[in-house]
């Protein structure tokens, strides 16, 4: 579950301090995945993100992930940076610096097929990653 993202170059943030340090130094575009053990994370969110990244020529500057339900403090801290959106996992966020620019909540992941979610992620990244 974790390695599916870390094997693709995602930095896993497991503590609140790691999240704060990342956000304090974040530059450029970041793709943040709030990972989860649920079926829609395994069957949709993680494969959609990795598939979208494979098809893009220009990738985000930073790829990071926190794991909801396991690394609770890190997840809570990351969600604190997304005050305008309710907690959701799995979910996918795009940041510019430390500012949230786009958010894909669980509701836009579950009950969709893999191609729809992957297309959504890749479309957002094509627009945001310069």
Put the strands of the sheet holding 91-96 in their side by side order. Answer: 11-12, 62-67, 29-35, 91-96, 99-104
Domain that holds residue 19: 3-128
Residues 96-109: tens digit of each pLDDT:
999 999 999 999 99
Residues 6+ apart with CB under 8 A from 102: 93, 94, 124, 128
Nearest to 98 by CA among 69, 64, 125, 48: 64
For residue 35, list its beta bridge partners. 67
- Which residues are tagged catalytic? 38, 40
Segments of the chain with pLDDT less than 70: 1
Do residues 34 and 75 touch, judged by C-beta distance below 8 A? yes
For residue range 64-75, list pLDDT tens digits in order.
Answer: 999 998 999 999
pLDDT of residue 38: 82
Domain count, the chain: 1
pLDDT for the residue numbered 7: 93
Q: Are the CB atoms for 52 and 84 separated by under 8 Å? A: no
pLDDT value at residue 3 = 86
Q: What is the CATH number of the domain that holds 124?
A: 3.40.30.10
What does the mean pLDDT of the chain come to? Answer: 95
User: What pLDDT sits at residue 110?
Assistant: 94
Task: Kindly provide the residue ranges of all beta strands, DSSP E only, lying in 6-117, ordered along the sequence.
Answer: 11-12, 29-35, 62-67, 91-96, 99-104
């Amino acid at each position: 579950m974790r390695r599916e993202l870390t094997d693709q170059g995602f930095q896993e943030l497991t503590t609140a301090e790691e999240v704060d340090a990342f956000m304090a130094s974040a530059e450029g575009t970041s793709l943040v995945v709030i990972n989860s053990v649920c079926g829609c994370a395994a069957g949709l969110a993680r494969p959609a993100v990795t598939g979208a990244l494979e098809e893009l020529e220009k990738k985000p500057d930073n790829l990071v992930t926190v794991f909801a339900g396991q690394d609770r403090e890190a997840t809570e801290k990351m969600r604190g940076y997304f005050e305008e959106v309710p907690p959701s996992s799995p979910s996918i966020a795009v940041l510019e610096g430390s500012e949230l620019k786009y958010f894909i909540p669980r509701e836009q992941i579950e009950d969709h097929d893999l191609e729809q979610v992957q297309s959504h992620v890749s479309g957002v990244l094509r627009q945001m990653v310069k």
